[in-house]
Amino acid sequence: MRSDITSVFNRVYDETYDDVMKFVLSRTGDCNATSDILQEVYKALFVRFRNKGADDIDDFRGFLIVSASNVIKRHYAHLAIQRATVVFNSVVDEDPDEEQSLQALEFEMSAEMTGIEDTVAAAELAAQVLEYLDEKGADVKKLFVLHFFSGLTIKEAALNTSMSQMQASNLIYRTIKEMKRKFEL
């Protein structure tokens, strides 16, 4: 049975690789990212073959293109979070040139968007969120950034701001509630 899975996988790989590689490369424009994404896509396909078989897939090329599209989205979402974390941390650390940090954040948030409307909307929202967090005070802003952009738990973020976990939790959830209402999220 394993040899059947391997032979089917090898056949699908040979038949689809060029098309899937062109699709991924056209979306990323980055040879290194393309290699990583292709590896993840075909590894997932092999695992799926092993677990569920291949009988229910009619169009392997289409299946792999959709899979690659999802991997690309996850890849760039992860990169955007990493970039935003760096920018937000520099803003929270009382960067004397906050305007430049805000511009960098706006650029990073808009880098992966396709339309000019999305870019403008993201830039405006980023500026509004940062302004709102500034109004809430340095502790709230730092707590928010530590938890959501640096990936710390509420307890860890609370320790970094010398607050109790309960106080930090209340501030985060109250801020989220207020931001949802204020920015209609």
Cα within 13 Å of Cα(88), Cβ side: 26
Cα 105 → chain centroid: 14
Residues 121-131 have a mean pLDDT of 70
| pLDDT computed for residue 92 by the predictor | 46
34 close to 79: Cβ distance less than 8 angstroms: no
Distance from C-alpha of 33 to C-alpha of 184, rounded to nearest angstrom: 35
| pLDDT computed for residue 79 by the predictor | 66
Confidence of residue 153 (pLDDT cuts 50, 70, 90): confident
pTM (2 decimals)?
0.46
Nearest to 88 by CA among 35, 156, 10, 144: 144
% of the chain at pLDDT higher than 70: 69
For the record, the structure tokens of 67 come out as 């899979």
For the record, the structure tokens of 148 come out as 């959501």
pLDDT, tens digit (0-9, with 9 covering 90-100), for 1-24: 566 888 889 999 999 999 999 988
Q: How many CB atoms lie within 10 A of CB 144?
A: 23
Q: What angle do CA 109, 114, 119 make, to 5 degrees?
A: 45
68 close to 23: Cβ distance less than 8 angstroms: yes
Confidence of residue 123 (pLDDT cuts 50, 70, 90): low
**pLDDT for residue 43 is more than 90:** yes
Across all residues in the chain, what is the average pLDDT? 77
* Share of the chain residues as helix, strand and coil, in percent rounded to the nearest 5: 85, 0, 15
Contacts 24+ apart (CB under 8 A), 32-41: 33/75, 36/75, 37/68, 37/71, 37/72, 37/75, 38/68, 40/71, 41/67, 41/68, 41/71
> 185 vs 19, which has greater pLDDT?
19
